[in-house]
């Protein structure tokens, strides 16, 4: 499916990270990619993150999955909604929904959450820290969108849910199948199903917080320094007041920190690996036995395409002289020359058809074999 009636450049200039956008059915032809029953089935599976939210009187109650199969027969009359996280990792047709949104780079994409609600069901007014495209898959949902919130915005007292205490919407729209609502980070929003069988696909993004970057990058760098790497002052001179921490000492201490944290090349390598770590251990494509190089060579020569594991995170960073660092599921592969072109190709498309001539290249076989062994790729035939 493609966005045929959608001006990407205009959207990026006017809306992305700025203000909400209602995009009325921009698809050539919209087709709901998942049946409600399949979603319910996923919510019962171990290892799949799911939540059931039920309206109880004035309030909402939360049950975390996996849900017992019998739960769906015992729903009662109260409006409810079921939410399943990362459905793109389990259902290829849902993974395909990300493709049209790849005008945003892959490293910013988180997952596709899918919700199902009966009439009146919803998760309550809230805000998220991330950008989201809310694609109406089936049925109708009334969305109310409010102003920008922040850490001071009052929340309702609730043990499990972060709900807005007083939500004053600025816009209200009823979305029909194929319609999309884009909500930037921290804009309040509230979606309520209008009629039964309401399915919404949330194409969710991620953006590292500064605090998380500082924590994780500095912890990574700290590992590289031994206990003997310490503050030194062989040039110490007497000072008037022993109680003073002199400016020169602070300069030296601050320098020790900054030297360790400001190495851009090391940061790029670390960030690529850090960002490409898979979120869930599920959708594990690792083969039981290590893959034989000869088999890889034969399949490439035969022109068999490689599929990317939808749960895998792949990205690359360009370096000097055409070299690239390829990142796949937390691992960095240094690639130069033809290998760099191969790495770039692997990151471009969900299915990779390699030039059969690469069957004669030792480094290409090594790279593909490593990616197969760690479950990031698999030959389509298998």
Per CB under 6 A, does 51 bind ligand SIN? no
Using CB under 6 A, pick the residue from 91, 94, 132, 339 that binds ligand SIN: 132
Please name every residue paired with 187 in a beta bridge, in sequence order, or none if there are none: 148
Per CB under 6 A, does 200 bind ligand SIN? yes
Distance between CA 338 and CA 237 in Å, rounded? 58
- Residue span binding Co ion (CB under 5 A) among the ranges 124-132, 217-225, 301-309, 361-369: 124-132
CB-nearer residue toward Co ion: 134 or 354 = 134
Per CB under 6 A, does 33 bind ligand SIN? no
CB-nearer residue toward ligand SIN: 72 or 130 = 130
Helix (H), strand (E), coil (C) string for 269-315:
HHHHHHHCCCCCCCCCCCCCCCCCHHHHHHHHHCCCCEEECCCCCEE
Site for ligand SIN in 266-285 (CB under 6 A): none
**DSSP-assigned letters across all residues of 119-147:** TT----SB--SS-EEEEEEEEEEEEEEEE
Residue 321 main-chain phi, psi, to 5 deg: 50, 45
Per CB under 6 A, does 191 bind ligand SIN? yes
Find the helix packing angle between 362-373 and 338-348, rounded to 10°.
Answer: 40
**Closest residue by beta carbon to ligand SIN:** 115
Burial-class residue 316 by CB neighbours within 10 Å (0-12, 13-18, 19+): buried
Per CB under 6 A, does 139 bind ligand SIN? no
Task: Give the CA distances from residue 120 to residues 81, 166, 280, in Å, rounded to whole numbers and listed in that order.
Answer: 9, 19, 31
Give 207-215 contacts, CB < 8 A, sequence gap 24+: 207/108, 207/129, 207/130, 207/131, 208/275, 209/129
Per CB under 6 A, does 124 bind ligand SIN? no
Using CB under 5 A, pick the residue from 110, 128, 179, 190 that binds Co ion: 128
Q: What does 200 interact with, of ligand SIN, Co ion, none (CB < 5 to 8 A by kind)? A: ligand SIN
How big is the site for ligand SIN, counted in residues (CB under 6 A)?
11
Distance between CA 366 and CA 370 in Å, rounded? 6
Distance between CA 371 and CA 374 in Å, rounded? 5
Per CB under 6 A, does 123 bind ligand SIN? yes
Q: What does 278 interact with, of ligand SIN, Co ion, none (CB < 5 to 8 A by kind)? A: none
What is the x/- site pattern for ligand SIN, positions 79-108, by CB under 6 A?
A: --x---------------------------
Per CB under 5 A, does 179 bind Co ion? no
Which residues are near Co ion by CB under 5 A? 128
Interacting residues with ligand SIN (CB under 6 A): 81, 115, 122-123, 128, 132, 134, 189, 191, 200, 202
């Amino acid at each position: 499916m493609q966005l045929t009636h959608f001006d990407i450049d205009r959207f990026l200039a006017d809306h992305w990270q700025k203000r909400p956008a209602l995009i009325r059915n921009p698809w050539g032809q919209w087709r709901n990619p998942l049946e409600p029953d399949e979603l319910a089935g996923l919510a019962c599976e171990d290892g799949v993150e799911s939540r059931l939210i039920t309206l109880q009187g004035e309030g909402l109650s939360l049950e975390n999955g996996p849900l017992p199969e019998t739960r769906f027969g015992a729903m009662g009359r109260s409006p409810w909604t079921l939410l399943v996280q990362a459905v793109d990792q389990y259902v290829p047709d849902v993974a395909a929904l990300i493709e049209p949104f790849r005008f945003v780079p892959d490293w910013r994409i988180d997952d596709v959450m899918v919700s199902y609600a009966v009439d009146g069901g919803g998760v309550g007014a809230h805000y998220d820290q991330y950008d989201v495209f809310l694609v109406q898959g089936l049925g109708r949902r009334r969305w109310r969108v409010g102003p920008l919130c922040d850490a001071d915005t009052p929340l309702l007292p609730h043990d499990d849910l972060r709900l807005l205490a007083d939500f004053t919407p600025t816009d209200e729209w009823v979305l029909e199948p194929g319609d999309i609502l884009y909500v930037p980070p921290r804009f309040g929003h509230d979606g309520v199903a209008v009629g039964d069988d309401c399915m919404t696909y949330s194409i969710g993004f991620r953006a590292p917080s500064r605090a998380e970057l500082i924590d994780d990058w500095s912890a990574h760098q700290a590992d590289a320094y031994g206990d003997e790497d310490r503050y030194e002052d062989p040039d110490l001179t007497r000072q008037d007041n022993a109680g003073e921490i002199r400016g020169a000492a602070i300069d030296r201490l601050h320098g020790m920190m900054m030297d360790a944290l400001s190495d851009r090349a090391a940061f790029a390598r670390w960030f690529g690996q850090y960002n490409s770590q898979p979120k869930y251990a599920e959708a594990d494509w690792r083969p039981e036995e290590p893959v034989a190089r000869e088999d890889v060579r034969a399949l490439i020569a035969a022109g068999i395409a490689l599929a990317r594991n939808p749960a895998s995170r792949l990205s690359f960073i360009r370096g000097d002289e055409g070299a690239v660092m390829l990142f796949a599921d937390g691992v960095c592969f240094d690639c130069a020359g033809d290998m760099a072109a191969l790495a770039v190709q692997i990151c471009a498309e969900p299915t990779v058809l390699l030039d059969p001539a690469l069957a004669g290249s030792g480094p290409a076989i090594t790279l593909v074999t490593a990616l197969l062994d760690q479950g990031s790729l698999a030959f389509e035939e298998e």
